Amino acid sequence: MQSPVATTHHHAASRFGEFPQGPAFQRVTLVLAAILSVIAFCWLAQEAAIEGEYIAMEAQWIATVFTWRSPLMDQIMLGYTRTHDLFMVAFILGFMGFHAYQRHWPQVRWIVAVVPGGMLANLGLKAFFHRARPEFDSMIHAHGYSFPSGHAIAAALVAGWLIYATCLSTRSLVWRSASVALGLSIAVSVAFSRVYLGVHYPMDVIAGALAGAAWILICLALKSLLDSDATE
């Protein structure tokens, strides 16, 4: 027979072990991560987009990236940019179609809020900061302002939703790890391609990734809160 102290310790350990899986803990984690992303974005926006503190350093980074150019790399990076919009549309329609077929209408609404909603927010950010694009040897012509990178935001949103959807649908560590690896590779590859092509400063794509991360984290925290209220 266990002593009262041992029993109390066992119950406390059980509760501690279960707590990280609870919705309250998930919401707190999502909100804290979103706050950190917003703080990092705001600092980067102040230093890079508003005050231009890192323009010389960014120019050096771009010059270094340009030394890696080659016919093969050019085609790969151009491929990322050319297929970006098609991939985004296919991703959104694919997920929406899958959830609509299963009549998971809340999921359909949330993916619309996350990805297209995040892209609309990006337009507002670009208009607010109105940072001009770099005047370097760009390989393509890009329209609009430079900060933050819309491609980087979109890639972060897609990567984040891919990871979230995978973790929601399976407990397999292999599949979850694979989704994280795939999501990160998508986000990093797209962000790097924009600097490689000469249409964004490095800080633009970093800020885009942070803005995308903040947006999806806020959306997921709100979703968790609304789902919790609906089940009570």
DSSP class of 131 = P
In the block, tokens 């979103």 appear at 34
- The tokens for 119 are 């892209």
- The tokens for 35 are 């706050």
3-state secondary structure 18-84: HHHHCHHHHHHHHHHHHHHHHHHHHHHHHHHHHCCCCHHHHHHHHHHHHCCCCHHHHHHHHHHHHHH
pLDDT per position as a tens digit, 178-210: 999 988 988 898 889 999 998 899 999 999 999
pLDDT value, residue 4: 45
Which amino acid, residue 153? Answer: I
**C-alpha dist (Å) from residue 11 to 14, 18, 19, 29:** 5, 11, 12, 24
- The tokens for 41 are 């974005």
pLDDT value, residue 232: 55
Q: Which has the closest alpha carbon to 199: 157, 146, 125, 122?
A: 146
Q: Are 84 and 154 in contact (CB under 8 A)?
A: yes
Q: Are 37 and 210 in contact (CB under 8 A)?
A: yes
pLDDT value, residue 222: 86
pLDDT per position as a tens digit, 29-45: 888 998 999 999 999 88
pLDDT value, residue 14: 39
- The tokens for 105 are 């209408």
Whether cis (ω within 30° of 0) applies to the bond prior to 148 is yes
Q: Are 30 and 222 in contact (CB under 8 A)?
A: no
Q: Which residues of the chain fall below pLDDT 50?
A: 1-20
pLDDT value, residue 20: 46
Which amino acid, residue 123? Answer: L
* Alpha carbon of residue 36 to chain centroid: 13
Neighbours of 49 (CB within 10 A): 24
For residue 187, the surrounding DSSP H or E stretch is helix 173-196
Please state the domain extents for the chain. 24-231
pLDDT value, residue 229: 59
pLDDT value, residue 166: 87
Q: Are 119 and 150 in contact (CB under 8 A)?
A: yes
